[in-house]
Amino acid sequence: MSTFKTTRRVAMSLMATAAATFATSAYAGGHGIDLEGKTVEWIIPFSETGGSAKWANFYAPLLSEALPGQPTVVVKFMPGAGSTKGANFFQEQKYEDGTLIFGSSGSTQFPFLLGDPRVKFDYADWNVVLASGTGGVAYLPPELAEKMDGMDASGLQGEDFIYGNQGATRLDLVPTLAWEMLGLNVESVMGIKGRGDGRLMFERGEANIDYQTSSSYLSGVTPLVEAGTAVPMMTWGALDDAGDIVRDPTFPDIPTFKEVCDATPACETSGEKWDAWKAFFIAGFPAQKMVFLPNGASTDAIVTYTKAFEDVKARADFAEISGKRLGKYPQMTGDAAATAKASATQVSPEAKEFIVNWLQEKYGVSLN
């Protein structure tokens, strides 16, 4: 059954790529849509405290300026059910006039990849107009960070950790599996609404290990590091052109999980556990956030939004302002966005099977 699903997703991804190519080609003679006097509602299926909120709030005023007619762009937060509440709502919407868009995250993509029964949405129905890469940084209180020997995390293996977890099938499986591979004893407090809530738990002393995506780390954790109450442990890294994990360009001085794993005798960067971790890292971070128009969107609407995001990226100040708010990651439109969507919404049957079994054993979550 998993082979069928993967084949179907590959086919859907090829169709999405073809649609994006058609839309890009159509732009030369397309008329676009005019949104003057209208309000664009941007649904984010998380709370207002996390990285998706910071990403959408960064782009919203820039998108408003770039769209024809300069409509008001309002970010609407719709958390719940591991982000599937907002995604399921968007799935039910049909394209009308271009005033509804949706912001997805890796924590929305993972339930889809794993066959979470709460998922009633299908990425094949949605039209991607922007894909944003990002990274993630794990961090510790200073007294625990001192127990690491360089990049060797063995000194942390006797400690008891508490982590604010959004849900077993969410993006949080990337850090929790990484910590398990390092031999750390991490207990998850399940059900927080956003990663910002996990940071607040850390600040209040209710959690002693945490991770944030890059935008949230830059704005919310960097002040803690500067104040001496948090110390970066590792990033998840970035992918080079060969598909190898290298240092995150936004945090080049922080070692990657791969480096920490290599330095920690209990951890291995080969085998089925490593392959599964890397597969879900790739699905969750290089195209971690995406903007979609709903099912049935017209070519003119896709072209209009694609050009608007391209115009935003072409701003003279974009590299500077995005680097400070989002980090130094690709912001993709057109064919690149369609390709990113394909990589973010499919994993190998082997990686999926491993994670499904791991979730059953670790959390008692049954997805079969």
Phi and psi at residue 127, to the nearest 5°: -110, 110
CATH architecture of 2-134+284-349: 3-Layer(aba) Sandwich (3.40)
Q: Which fold has domain 136-283?
A: D-Maltodextrin-Binding Protein; domain 2 (3.40.190)
What token pair was written down for 148?
Answer: 């690491």
pLDDT in tens, 230-256: 999 999 999 988 889 999 999 999 999
Distance in angstroms (rounded) separating the CA atoms of residues 285 and 139: 18
Do the domains 2-134+284-349 and 136-283 sit in the same CATH topology, yes or no? Answer: yes
- Give residue-wise pLDDT tens across range 156-204: 999 999 999 998 998 999 999 999 999 999 999 998 888 899 999 999 9
Report which of 249, 251, 198 is spatially closest to residue 222, judged by C-alpha positions: 251
Report pLDDT digits (tens) over 305-336: 999 999 999 999 999 999 999 999 999 999 99
Q: What is the pLDDT of residue 189?
A: 96
pLDDT, residue 31, reads: 58
- What are 120-147's pLDDT values in tens digits? 999 999 999 999 999 999 999 999 999 9
Q: Which residue has the tokens 């750390």?
A: 184
Pairing of strands 72-77, 39-44: parallel
Query: Which tokens hold the place of 39?
Result: 């309000």
281 pLDDT higher than 60: yes
Which residue ranges make up each domain of the chain? 2-134+284-349, 136-283
- The DSSP secondary-structure symbol of 294 reads P
Rounded to whole angstroms, the Cα distance separating 264 from 256 reads 12
Per-residue pLDDT, 107: 87
Cross-strand partners of 161: 186
